Amino acid sequence: MILLGVDPGCRFAGFGVIRKEGTLVQLLDHGCLRMSPSKPLSERIALFHDFFQTKIITLHVTHLALETPFLGKNAQNFLKLGYLRGVLYLLAHKHNLNLYEFSPREVKQAVTGFGGASKDQVARIILQLFPRIGSVETEDVSDALAVTLCGLWKEKSIEQLRR
Catalytic residues: 7, 67, 140
Beta bridge partners of 13: 33
Check the CA dihedral 50-84-31-144 and report its sign.
Answer: negative
Q: In whole angstroms, what is the distance from residue 47 CA to residue 55 CA?
A: 12
- Side by side, the strands of the sheet bearing 24-34 are 24-34, 12-21, 2-7, 63-67, 98-102
Q: Using alpha carbons, list the distances in angstroms from residue 106 to 5, 72, 100, 111, 125.
A: 14, 18, 12, 9, 15
> What amino acid occupies position 39?
K
